[in-house]
A and B are shown apart, each in its own frame.
Chain A
């Protein structure tokens, strides 16, 4: 049952990211990455199948590092400053959101 839910949530997470990126571009990826960091941080106190299904599969598939790498590359080819700001902003804000989530964890 866990494996089936894992597959369903991984698919849902990826489709949400796909649609958000198609609609809002880099901003969509950024919003999902930050929301995912907060959400996974909130789950830090949990254990068991819900972490595998909702955390590793759903939130894991919804957020992406490879997408950030591609977007940083695209921005850097246009302006190195913008690429650096996007990378630093994503990382600092993401870790900050995760830390807030961990602090408030369930």
Chain B
């Protein structure tokens, strides 16, 4: 079971990380990261709202959602903005990420609760 769970987490993580990379390639680094973070938060909101087995929790939340989203990418994006003294960008992009991720998490939970 442990090996099966680990294999599922790894497979989902590869899918999540590759999807984040694809988003960044398609619509640009900043917007791609934001899209990946928002989708990942919606998915984890949905997953945490309804009953899921440990197996589903492992591959879906840890593997897919965890790897689809990237905190380090967001921190470096904002850190680069600080380094370049683009204060408005840091404030707006940081706020936009927090708000959109919070809203998408709640939306995901709402969808899960109606099932």
Contacts and interface: CB of A to CB of B under 8 A. Distances in A.
Interface of A: 6-7, 10-11, 13-15, 17-18, 21, 33, 36-37, 39-41, 44, 52, 55-57, 59-70, 73, 87, 90-91, 94-99, 101-103
Interface of B: 6, 9-10, 12-14, 16-18, 20-21, 24, 37, 40-41, 43-45, 48, 58, 61-63, 65-76, 78-80, 82-83, 90, 94, 97-98, 101-102, 105, 109
Contacts, number: 174
A60 B79 contact: no
B67 A98 contact: no
Contact of A68 (B10, B45, B71, B109): B71
Contacts of A59: 70, 72
Secondary structure class of chain B's binding surface, majority of residues: helix
Contact of B62 (A6, A10, A17): A17
A65 B71 contact: yes
B48 A10 contact: no
Given A60-B72, A95-B78, A69 B63 contact: no
Q: For chain A, what secondary structure do more than half of its interface residues adopt (helix, strand, loop), or is it mixed?
A: helix
Contact of A70 (B61, B94, B98): B61
Contacts of B97: 65
Given A40-B76, A94-B75, A66 B69 contact: yes
Given A11-B9, A95-B90, 13 more contacts: A13-B13, A13-B17, A18-B62, A18-B63, A40-B75, A60-B70, A61-B13, A61-B67, A65-B37, A66-B105, A69-B105, A94-B75, A101-B76
Contacts of B72: 33, 36-37, 39-40, 55, 59-60, 62-63, 94, 98
